[in-house]
């Protein structure tokens, strides 16, 4: 059913944690997200320390704080996009080293929180990867963490450290507004996709629809169904993550076959694994848009402004 955003209740992303001395925090650009830390520093006016980093010949990470940090409250910016495990371990090295060097506290901004799709046991015997990751962050010394559009918001509620999920739909919608698209219908898939489509449609003052999908637990193969008429319209397909591009390509293919006039593929986290982009374009999308939580040539809009506002209190 096509739904008009005029009738929606505004989404509430309840802040749960706080009490940081926001103005005194020093940003630290980790190896994975130095570019974003720099943008965040510019947007918020907070001091930035660029971590010194190199890889040893065997691939191990070297981390050094190039200036004194004793007594400081640090906000380390380090995304967990691929190579996830390396980026996670670097985050642990930074927190542990900082506290050892006398930092007063360390908090983390992980714009992309890896392992959030493995938040429960889909098959008996599986690791609860997200739980393990959050326990690791706590053990490394992080006091709190912030992320962007986490895949499983319900799972961070029971995290051993407070995690705030900052929503980036506003940044996406602002970018879409600059494209001059007409007669947009926002399309997404599944329960979570519905929330995202609803928020984006509301910001763009347009309608949205939700496709139904099923994913095979063993092969990962996705099938999608759309009941509404999208003929002649501009379909803005939104998803939190594009990983292999399979889900997005299926949606685009379906919309194309239903006569959509233009199809734009948009996401927050563009992991773009392997031939994801080619797959999506081949299916009929005219362009792919993602944020800079995961840096790529598809990063067309930034989450820095929203992070500065939501975490550091700057507009
Ligand atoms: C699934 O629940 C997510 O919202 C994304 O649709 C999914 O992670 C995308 O993965 P892929 O690009 O591999 O289909």
Q: pLDDT by residue (tens digit) across 235-267?
A: 999 999 999 999 999 999 999 999 999 999 999
In which band, very low, low, confident or very high, does the pLDDT at 284 lie, cut at 50, 70 and 90?
A: very high
Least confident piece of the model among 3-7, 26-30, 62-66: 3-7
Q: pLDDT by residue (tens digit) across 31-47?
A: 999 999 999 999 999 99
Would you identify the CATH topology of the domain 22-168+304-312? Answer: Rossmann fold (3.40.50)
At residue 314, the pLDDT reads 63
Smallest CA-to-CA distance from 109 within 175, 16, 32, 223 is with: 32
Q: Is the pLDDT of residue 56 over 80?
A: yes
Among 237, 242, 271, which residue has the most ligand 1 atoms within 8 Å of its CB, making it the best to mutate? 242
Where helices occur in 48-127 by DSSP H, the ranges are 84-100
| Upstream peptide bond of 312 is cis (omega within 30 degrees of 0) | no
Pairing of strands 222-225, 234-242: unpaired
Q: pLDDT by residue (tens digit) across 151-203?
A: 989 889 999 999 999 999 999 999 999 999 999 999 999 888 999 999 999 99
Among 243, 269, 280, which residue has the most ligand 1 atoms within 8 Å of its CB, making it the best to mutate? 243
Domain range annotation of the chain: 22-168+304-312, 169-292
> Environment class of residue 80 by beta-carbon count within 10 Å: exposed (0-12), middle (13-18) or buried (19+)?
buried
**Which residues are CB-contacts of 240 (< 8 A; sequence separation ≥ 6)?**
149, 151, 192, 193, 196, 267, 268, 269
In which band, very low, low, confident or very high, does the pLDDT at 2 lie, cut at 50, 70 and 90?
A: low
Q: Give kind and range of the element (H or E) at residue 46.
A: none
In the reported structure, the alpha carbon of residue 182 is separated from the centroid of ligand 1 by a whole-number distance in angstroms of 27
At residue 12, the pLDDT reads 38
At residue 308, the pLDDT reads 95
CA distance 36 to 209: 32
| Upstream peptide bond of 83 is cis (omega within 30 degrees of 0) | yes
At residue 24, the pLDDT reads 84
In the reported structure, the alpha carbon of residue 239 is separated from the centroid of ligand 1 by a whole-number distance in angstroms of 7
Nearest CA to ligand 1 atom 7: 241
Phi, then psi, of 147 in degrees rounded to 5: -140, 180
pTM value?
0.91
Q: pLDDT by residue (tens digit) across 94-132?
A: 999 999 999 999 999 999 999 998 888 888 999 999 999
Average pLDDT, the chain: 92
**Which residues are CB-contacts of 218 (< 8 A; sequence separation ≥ 6)?**
none
The reply to whether domains 22-168+304-312 and 169-292 share a CATH topology is yes
CA distance 219 to 205: 38
Report how far apart the first and last C-alpha atoms of the chain are (Å, whole number): 37
In the reported structure, the alpha carbon of residue 235 is separated from the centroid of ligand 1 by a whole-number distance in angstroms of 18
Phi, then psi, of 293 in degrees rounded to 5: -65, -35
CA distance 148 to 93: 22
Q: Is the pLDDT of residue 74 over 70?
A: yes
Q: How does DSSP assign 176-194, residue by residue?
A: HHTTT--SEEEEEEHHHHH
CA distance 36 to 112: 12
At residue 15, the pLDDT reads 37
In the reported structure, the alpha carbon of residue 3 is separated from the centroid of ligand 1 by a whole-number distance in angstroms of 23
CA distance 240 to 175: 16
Number of Cβ within 10 Å of residue 141's Cβ equals 19
Decide which of 3.30.465.10, 2.40.10.220, 3.30.70.20, 3.40.50.2020 is the CATH code for 169-292.
Answer: 3.40.50.2020
In the reported structure, the alpha carbon of residue 47 is separated from the centroid of ligand 1 by a whole-number distance in angstroms of 36
Q: Is the pLDDT of residue 14 over 60?
A: no
In which band, very low, low, confident or very high, does the pLDDT at 10 lie, cut at 50, 70 and 90?
A: very low
| Residue 250 alpha carbon, nearest atom of ligand 1 | 14
């Amino acid at each position: 059913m096509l739904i008009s955003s005029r009738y929606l209740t505004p989404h509430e992303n309840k802040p749960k944690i706080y009490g940081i001395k926001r103005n005194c925090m020093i940003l630290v650009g980790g190896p994975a997200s130095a570019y974003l830390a720099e943008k965040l520093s510019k947007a918020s006016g907070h001091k930035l320390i660029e971590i010194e980093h190199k890889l040893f010949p065997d691939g191990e990470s070297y981390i050094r704080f190039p200036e004194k940090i004793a007594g400081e409250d640090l906000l380390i910016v380090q995304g967990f996009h691929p190579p996830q495990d390396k980026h996670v371990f670097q985050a642990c090295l930074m927190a542990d080293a900082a506290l050892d060097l006398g930092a007063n506290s360390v908090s983390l901004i992980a714009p992309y929180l890896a392992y959030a799709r493995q938040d429960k046991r889909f098959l008996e015997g599986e690791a609860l990867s997200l739980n393990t990751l959050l326990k690791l962050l706590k053990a490394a010394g992080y006091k709190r963490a912030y992320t962007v559009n986490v895949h499983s918001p319900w799972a961070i509620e029971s995290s051993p450290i407070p995690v705030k999920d900052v929503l980036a739909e506003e940044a996406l919608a602002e970018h879409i507004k600059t494209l001059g698209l007409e007669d947009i219908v926002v399309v997404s898939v599944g329960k979570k996709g519905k929330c995202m489509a609803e928020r984006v449609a509301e910001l763009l003052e347009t309608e949205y629809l939700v496709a139904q999908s099923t994913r095979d637990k063993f092969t990962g193969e996705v099938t999608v169904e759309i009941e509404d008429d999208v003929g002649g319209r501009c379909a803005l397909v939104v998803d939190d993550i594009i990983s292999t591009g399979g889900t997005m390509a299926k949606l685009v293919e379906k919309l194309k076959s239903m006569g959509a006039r233009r199809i734009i593929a948009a996401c927050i986290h563009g992991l773009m694994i392997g031939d994801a982009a080619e797959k999506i374009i081949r299916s009929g999308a005219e362009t792919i848009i993602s944020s800079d939580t995961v840096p790529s040539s598809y990063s067309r809009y930034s989450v820095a402004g929203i992070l500065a506002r939501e975490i550091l209190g700057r507009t």
